[in-house]
Amino acid sequence: MNILHIDSAITGDASVSRQLTAKIVAKLTADQPDAAVTYRDLAKGVPAIDNDWFHAVRLSPENPTAEQQALIDISNAYLNEVQAADVLVIGLPIYNFTLTAQLKNWFDQIARAGLSFRYTAEGPEGLLKGKRAIIAYTAAGTPFGSELDFASGYLRHILGFLGITDVEFVPADGLAFDRDAGLARADEALDRIAA
């Protein structure tokens, strides 16, 4: 089993989402000690897609410049990690009711027509099928699944668009109001996660 472990919280060791993703990965590897883990800390920065990215990555020039090749290589590295993974463990801290900018940038980097999805006569088809995603949702005040939560539905949708429909959440919400209760809910959800 190949696990891709992704964190995006900017709060370092104080991050609850980082603590939860580490617990999820520990549970998966305890049950499957031969599992390989690739770790990616998006808080270190993920380039936003822009006009240069579009001309390099999306338009795929036959003879890219050195600058274009660097943009292609970055995007390919992110996508290759996802393609190689059987399980994605993603930390989803909620900032201003939604996902972090770094995590959104990462999805923009890996959503590549012809590689991670394609358009067909029947509509779009995800090409990253057969994978599982476990999401550590953490929020100080945004209840998981509420009308204020613009992140979990987006993650389920974008992962499904890419072909990943086996999506589970380990939510720790309401941390600003009752931290212990929020962490207890996350531990209960974690206990239900099968390896």
Closest to 130 in 3D by CA, of 166, 180, 167: 166
Across 36-180, where does the E strand assignment appear? 36-41, 87-93, 117-120, 123-126, 132-138, 166-172
pLDDT of residue 9: 97
Q: 160-174 burial string, b = 16+ CB within 10 Å, else e? A: ebbbbbebebbbbbb
Positive or negative, the CA dihedral 174, 179, 181, 184 is: positive
Name residue, tokens 């989803």.
92
Low-confidence residues in the chain, pLDDT < 50: none
Residue 15 is labelled as binding a ligand: yes
Task: Break the chain into its structural domains and give their ranges.
Answer: 2-192
Over the stretch 8-44, which tens digit does the pLDDT of each residue have? 999 998 999 999 999 999 999 998 999 999 999 999 9
CATH superfamily for 2-192 is: Flavodoxin domain (3.40.50.360)
Residue 116 is labelled as binding a ligand: no
Residue 75 is labelled as binding a ligand: no
Which pTM value belongs to this model?
A: 0.95
161, 102 contact by CB (below 8 A): no
Residue 49: CB atoms within 10 A of its CB come to 17
